[in-house]
Amino acid sequence: MSAAAGAAAGAAASGGLVRALPAPRPDLSMREGYHSPQVPVEVRLNTNESPYPPPREWLDAVCELARDISFNRYPDRSARALREAIASWHGVRPDQVFPANGSNEVLQSLCLAYGGSGRKALMWEPTYALHSHIAHLTGTEIAQFPRAPDFAIDPGSALATVEKVRPSLVFLCSPNNPTGLAEDEATVRAIIRASNGLVVVDEAYGQFSSWSAVGLVADDVPLVVVRTYSKTWAMAGLRLGYMIAPAEVVDNMERVALPYHLDVLKQAAGRLALRFSSEMESRVAAIISDREHLVAELSGLPVEVWPSQANFILWRPLRRDGREVWEALVARSVLVRDTSRWPGLEGCLRTTVGTPAENERFLAALREVLA
Ligand code: PMP
């Protein structure tokens, strides 16, 4: 049967059921620029993934373990073994760990439990777009304030803002995506002291940075630190993230997480990954050294470059339109993140640190474009 004949037969059989579908909530449109276009190119430096696959031994261990899994049964709902492994890796207790499907799901669970109608989430822009997006989706009122011109959070005005807004959630991002700078430790401490709400430090890129807020987490401190397997652990495809938090906050996540949200294979794969931390640490060291090389090379070109403590670099062509440069790079099969139309980032582009060969392809293409 042809497609048209099939559709006609379907309409006839539906007996008057066919009509326009209802519209979704009118406030669902995604803030412009979140999704990075998935353009087929040879060099992909747009989504801050690891350029290296996870260790082969990890994959072998996962395959081996998969054979013994009872897939007919639901997974351990509390992901106990995974929590214990993450907790011992960080030197905290298992009841201070909440794992989820990527750190985005951790952020969503936090907003569901601590945000919602009549509550506010505070953040300083530009920052990770999903902080405001998820807050919005969960009905949380968003309070957005600008960062200083160097993209740091000005400590004086931040404290006044916290006291004025009285947020239920404060989002910090260290290192901040897409600008690359780690939040200042003294500012983070001051914000925790000033806030009555929960302070969330998103450390998706934490292992590339010189300091972490994980050491500040305690049962009587209103601080949550969010981490992911997507970057340092080279497992963006696994969709696993977690938070380190006071036990009471972790307990409250159980009220909003769907039952059995973490599948059995993911729980095992995430636990096994932690056995390969020395491989991961050497990759992080290599990426940091390649980042410094990229920054040095970019500094010799007619672009403004911001210092980075992450696995990406924000830069802005000085004499050319950012979007034009992005297009010219795509034409040379190099994809970077076009942030040039994002508020506060006019003209800027963001490049993920890739393999040395990818970085050289990017630099060669950029030199040609800017010549
Ligand atoms: N936080 C930040 C700051 C990010 O940049 C990202 C990924 N782009 C995430 C969280 C989400 O990571 P995932 O859901 O893959 O863990």
188 in Cβ contact with 159 (< 8 Å): no
Q: Is any ligand 1 atom within 6 A of the Cβ of residue 177? A: yes
Interval 96-107 mean pLDDT: 98
- Quote the pLDDT of residue 236: 93
Which residue, chain included where needed, has tokens 């050319």? Answer: 320
299 C-alpha to ligand 1 centroid (Å): 27
Residue with CA nearest ligand 1 atom 12: 103
Record the tokens describing residue 69, joined without a space: 């899994």
Interval 91-99 mean pLDDT: 98
- Quote the pLDDT of residue 129: 93
Is the pLDDT at 6 greater than 80, yes or no?
no
- Quote the pLDDT of residue 33: 46
Residue with CA nearest ligand 1 atom 5: 177
190 in Cβ contact with 184 (< 8 Å): no
103 C-alpha to ligand 1 centroid (Å): 6
Interval 363-369 mean pLDDT: 98
336 in Cβ contact with 350 (< 8 Å): yes
Residue with CA nearest ligand 1 atom 6: 204
Query: Which tens digits make up the pLDDT trace of 305-315?
Result: 999 999 999 99
45 in Cβ contact with 335 (< 8 Å): yes
- Quote the pLDDT of residue 4: 60
319 in Cβ contact with 325 (< 8 Å): no
101 C-alpha to ligand 1 centroid (Å): 11
* Radius of gyration in angstroms for the set of CA atoms belonging to the chain, rounded to a whole number: 22
Query: Which tens digits make up the pLDDT trace of 18-76?
Result: 999 998 888 776 555 466 778 899 999 999 999 999 999 999 999 999 999 999 999 99
Query: Which tens digits make up the pLDDT trace of 163-182?
Result: 999 999 999 999 999 999 99
Is the pLDDT at 331 greater than 80, yes or no?
yes
Phi and psi at residue 174, in whole multiples of 5°? Answer: -140, 115
Query: Which tens digits make up the pLDDT trace of 268-303?
Result: 999 999 999 999 999 999 999 999 999 999 999 999
Distances (CA, A) of 120 to 32, 35, 245, 270: 22, 25, 20, 33
- Nearest-atom index, ligand 1, CA of 178: 5
| pLDDT, mean over the chain | 94
Q: Is any ligand 1 atom within 6 A of the Cβ of residue 103? A: yes
Q: What is the 3-state secondary structure (H, E, C) of the chain?
A: CCHHHHHHHHHHHCCCCCCCCCCCCCCCCCCCCCCCCCCCCCEEECCCCCCCCCCHHHHHHHHHHHCCCCCCCCCCCCCHHHHHHHHHHHCCCHHHEEEECCHHHHHHHHHHHHCCCCCEEEEEECCCHHHHHHHHHCCCEEEEEECCCCCCCCHHHHHHHHHHHCCCEEEEECCCCCCCCCCCHHHHHHHHHHCCCEEEEECCCHHHCCCCCHHHCCCCCCEEEEEECCCCCCCHHHCCEEEECCHHHHHHHCCCCCCCCCCHHHHHHHHHHHHHHHHHHHHHHHHHHHHHHHHHHHHCCCEEECCCCCCEEEEEECCCCHHHHHHHHHHCCEEEEECCCCCCCCCCEEEECCCHHHHHHHHHHHHHHHC
- Prior bond of 155 cis (ω within 30°): no
- Nearest-atom index, ligand 1, CA of 241: 16
- Quote the pLDDT of residue 112: 98
Interval 73-83 mean pLDDT: 96
Residue 133 CB coordination number (10 Å) = 18
- Quote the pLDDT of residue 1: 56
Q: Is any ligand 1 atom within 6 A of the Cβ of residue 230? A: yes
Is the pLDDT at 97 greater than 70, yes or no?
yes
132 CB-near residues (< 8 Å, 6+ apart): 31, 121, 123, 125, 142, 144
Interval 214-220 mean pLDDT: 98
Interval 146-156 mean pLDDT: 95
Is the pLDDT at 137 greater than 60, yes or no?
yes
- Quote the pLDDT of residue 8: 59
Interval 329-358 mean pLDDT: 97
13 C-alpha to ligand 1 centroid (Å): 46
Is the pLDDT at 133 greater than 50, yes or no?
yes
Query: Which tens digits make up the pLDDT trace of 234-265?
Result: 899 999 999 999 999 999 999 999 999 999 99
Residue 82 amino acid letter: L
Q: Is any ligand 1 atom within 6 A of the Cβ of residue 241? A: yes
- Nearest-atom index, ligand 1, CA of 229: 16
